[in-house]
Amino acid sequence: MSDVSVAQLPREIKPQPKAYAFERSLGIPPAEACRRAGGKVENGHATKWEQNRRVQAWIAYYRSLGHDDAMVAAKRARIEERLNMAAYGNIFDFATMVDRVVTVQVDAKTREDKIVRSPLIDWDKVASSPYGAIIEGFKFDKDTGELVDFERDSALQALAQLRDMHGFKSVNKTALTDPTGQQPASLYLISERPMSEAEWEAERAAAG
């Protein structure tokens, strides 16, 4: 039975929704797929395209292509792009250094205000950038609700995965040594006939 339904192209749609359908077929979430296609999430494009039956038909079509070379290459490119963001993304690109007043306890009775330089991160810019995806979570002060810490994807783990993708993983080589680990292992030769010392030496040299 032929796969006519899989091979048949859906009705043509505009370039942006079509690009959105392609990104969605690769597993990209709606909001990010919308941005990649040139749409505006804040204007409701992602919701509109996601609910459009003709767009959904293109998503299904692209997914039906499965593992052809173009789809595999596209999926690999998205994975590599995501790993590159985690590996090289710098949160300080969205930060400015500002003076802040903090109160420190000098002794049991004395508290003192000090001015310290600290980074102020523009989280709106982070959220609207591709690098918002590498932020894993936030920690807030339980009393004040102030953001005190955040977690991001591990850059070292991303670099290790990129290294493996590109075949840069170092090859492990095992060398036999003696019990000290400093010298080559001793060679033990067994002969089925009597041999002279010269013959033994020749065999050892050949084995080494």
State the amino acid at position 10 in one-letter form.
Answer: P
Unique residue bearing structure tokens 């002969």: 191
Mean pLDDT for 161-167 is: 87
Mean pLDDT for 3-15 is: 74
Mean pLDDT for 87-103 is: 89
pLDDT of residue 16: 95
Mean pLDDT for 154-161 is: 91
Burial bucket for residue 98 (CB in 10 Å: 0-12, 13-18, 19+): exposed
Q: What is the pTM of this model?
A: 0.59
Check pLDDT > 80 for residue 5: no
CA distance linking residue 24 with residue 194, whole number of Å: 76
pLDDT of residue 110: 84
User: To the nearest whole percent, how much of the chain has pLDDT over 70?
Assistant: 83
Question: Which has more confidence, 165 or 176?
Answer: 165
Residues 6+ apart with CB under 8 A from 121: 91, 94, 95
Q: What is the chain's mean pLDDT, rounded?
A: 83
